[in-house]
Structure 1
Amino acid sequence: MSTNPTGLLELSPVLPVVVIEDAEHAVPVAEALLAGGIRAIELTLRTPVAPAAIERVAKEVPGIVVGAGTVTGERDARLAAEAGAGFLVTPGSTDALLDAVAGTGLPFLPGVATVSEAMLLAERGLTELKFFPAEASGGVGFLRSIAGPLPDLRFCPTGGVTADTAADYLALPNVGCVGGTWLTPKAALAAGDFARVEALARDALRGAVAAG
């Protein structure tokens, strides 16, 4: 597979994981994040409007790289690619799923939660991984403990990461970025409070710089 290492972990130290319920919110959310300094966004395929949201951001907000998250099968990978996603993110990794996402030609972050899963992906030449669900799978302590035996692997921990814990992850040598939903709270999106999203993005980047 030639699509990983991808450079995705260098796009932004904080990768917003966004669930869009209304496609009309996609562009203003992306614009708010971009205004706050974020250069990449993961729109999850958890709602029916997700492909349309990805397409709108890809076309209307060229300053941000939009990826598709929660890719769990060939159909998801195909829909995301057709919508214009710049990268794919999976919650876990099976042989069929890895083949499907690799078949799109897009860069991708495959999900892992155990040492054995990480080692299996490394055998396939995949060294940039999503650690999910991060907090439930051991969090900072887990990633710190595997940095020695698996020095060539780098991670984007996602799942339970918060504004308060992001810096702890980013301080680890094997973490390139962190992903989380706290930058785009459901209530803020429902209310159209995109100024709040921009402020959270600025705060997140400020904390990332301090951690680095």
Structure 2
Amino acid sequence: MTLTAKEASRRTREICALAPIVPVLVIADLAHARPMAEALVAGGLPALEVTLRTPVALDVIRAMAEVPGGVVGAGTLVTPEDVKAAVAAGAKFGVSPGATDELLAACEAEGLPLLPGAATATEAMRLLARGYDMMKFFPAEASGGAPALKAIGAPLPQITFCPTGGVTPENARSYLSLANVACAGGSWVAPAALAAKGDWAGIEELARAASQLPRG
């Protein structure tokens, strides 16, 4: 089933509306997948981005996709092959650090809603011209943070972003207060130290705090 750019953005916008924070997950131990997803969903963060940065990432997506209430996506999509593998693993959406014509075409052909990355007004305008109006602002802090994103929003108010990259509990509110931000991506809600100890209650607590961050 193919997907248009506009439909892709509509779907990713719906996913971003589920909670103020989308956990950005780098999971190296497959045994952590299900309890991690259960803790995050129980804490109020149902949209989960599993980055394709570890050998078990696709298996993690498969395991998390079975958790009730979760909406699991694949992050760090770079090639058409990544897209096909993510769809086969059960990913419901994709996230990319940037965007190429080949990657966009692959996601559209596979019917995978993509949150494409943009860091400049030119990149955002190129995606907008193709039909995307929901994007990832990455790397957020390195690209100027909330002030830069607010500035981009002035001439391009029709674009909504999910800033990711350097977002923390301390600066998340500054991003979420912007009119052109739907949610933010953050890794602090799933720290490796807590996962290593199996402290899923601790992760659920972090998720619950993040789920209550105000937007707009």
Quickly name the TM-score band, shorter chain normalised: over 0.9
What letter corresponds to residue 68 of structure 1 in structure 2? A
Query: Is it true that 1:118 corresponds to 2:124 in the alignment?
Result: yes
**Separation in 2 of the partners of 1:178 and 1:110?**
14
What letter corresponds to residue 92 of structure 1 in structure 2? G
Instruction: Give the counterpart of 1:65 among 54, 67, 71.
Output: 71
Unaligned runs of 5+ in 2: none
The Cα shift of 1:132 comes to 0.5
Query: What does residue 15 of structure 1 align with?
Result: 22
Query: TM-score scaled by structure 1?
Result: 0.96
**Separation in 2 of the partners of 1:5 and 1:156?**
14
Query: TM-score scaled by structure 2?
Result: 0.94
**Separation in 1 of the partners of 2:160 and 2:32?**
32
Say if 2:49 and 2:73, in contact at 8 Å, map to a contact too.
yes
- 1:51-200 matches, within 5 Å, as 51-59=58-66, 61-200=67-206
The Cα shift of 1:62 comes to 2.3
Query: What does residue 205 of structure 1 align with?
Result: 211
**Separation in 1 of the partners of 2:25 and 2:197?**
15
What letter corresponds to residue 150 of structure 2 in structure 1? R
Unaligned runs of 5+ in 1: none
The Cα shift of 1:159 comes to 0.2
How large is the RMSD of aligned CA atoms in angstroms? 1.0
Say if 1:68 and 1:88, in contact at 8 Å, map to a contact too.
yes
The size of the alignment, in residue pairs, is: 209
**Separation in 2 of the partners of 1:107 and 1:8?**
10
Say if 1:9 and 1:128, in contact at 8 Å, map to a contact too.
no
**Separation in 1 of the partners of 2:15 and 2:130?**
18
The Cα shift of 1:4 comes to 2.0
Query: Is it true that 1:43 corresponds to 2:47 in the alignment?
Result: no
What letter corresponds to residue 23 of structure 1 in structure 2? L
The Cα shift of 1:8 comes to 2.5
**Separation in 2 of the partners of 1:9 and 1:32?**
19
**Separation in 2 of the partners of 1:36 and 1:135?**
26
